[in-house]
Chain A
Amino acid sequence: NAGVTQTPKFQVLKTGQSMTLQCAQDMNHNSMYWYRQDPGMGLRLIYYSASEGTTDKGEVPNGYNVSRLNKREFSLRLESAAPSQTSVYFCASSEEGTSGRAFTDTQYFGPGTRLTVL
């Protein structure tokens, strides 16, 4: 049981390049989340998916897109990377029962992807 896994662990991009951050969970959780962590800013929610087939914007969605590929996988895409997107990105998942609502159960975080945009 690996929990939440993220790839890659590190990435360096040039301004304007695109990339996709991958996240997978093996806990059969319904909800998944993407956060970014910046010094002095704490964690901020980018996008979330309450259940397979749905995605919603969080606090800081500009410049990002997401895909809930299936129940296990939730990817984050940067179409045209900017230096302001230099950050550590965390994926998380939570069980959520039959409510269909996110944010009601404990969130389990992956180890993070450290992204630098030059």
Chain B
Amino acid sequence: QQQVKQSPQSLIVQKGGIPIINCAYENTAFDYFPWYQQFPGKGPALLIAIRPDVSEKKEGRFTISFNKSAKQFSLHIMDSQPGDSATYFCAASRTGNQFYFGTGTSLTVIP
């Protein structure tokens, strides 16, 4: 059973567009929601993370929106660039316990 459901599987946007990747979870005990970025041939790297005490977090061009009542969170990439082309994974965990990852979204930003 997938603990975290991620969509879409793939996404193509024009440079400057705002891709949005969505994740949903069921376990209300989860209290940490990170996003990872993975380039081909590399390991995932932490991009940005949020805890449920806030509804939004911004770091540079990356924003997480969090809806606790809907048990959903999403990643928005402002002014997307070709260098943002990568696979993005959401994850969820209860502090001090294992992470559950989404299935990944392959993002392509066309120049």
Write the residues of chain A forming the contact surface with B, with a CB cutoff of 8 angstroms. Answer: 4, 40-45, 48, 58-59, 90, 92, 99, 101-104, 106-112
0/1 string, B77-105, CB within 8 A of A gives 1: 00000000000010101011111011110
Q: Given known contacts A58-B98, A59-B98, is B104 in contact with A42 (CB within 8 Å)? A: yes
The list of the 3 closest CB pairs from A to B, nearest first, reads: A109-B43, A42-B101, A43-B101
| Number of B residues with CB within 8 Å of any CB on chain A | 20
29 pairs, CB–CB < 8 Å, chain A vs chain B? A4-B43, A40-B103, A42-B4, A42-B89, A42-B102, A42-B104, A43-B89, A43-B91, A43-B101, A44-B101, A45-B98, A48-B98, A59-B98, A90-B44, A92-B43, A102-B96, A103-B98, A104-B95, A104-B96, A106-B46, A107-B46, A107-B99, A108-B45, A109-B44, A109-B45, A110-B43, A111-B41, A112-B41, A112-B42
Q: How far is the CB of A106 from chain B (nearest CB, A)?
A: 5
Residues of A with C-beta under 8 A to B45: 108-109
Contact residues in A for B103 (Cβ distance below 8 Å): 40-42
- The chain A residue sitting closest to B93, CB to CB, is A103
In contact, A90 and B43 (Cβ under 8 angstroms): yes
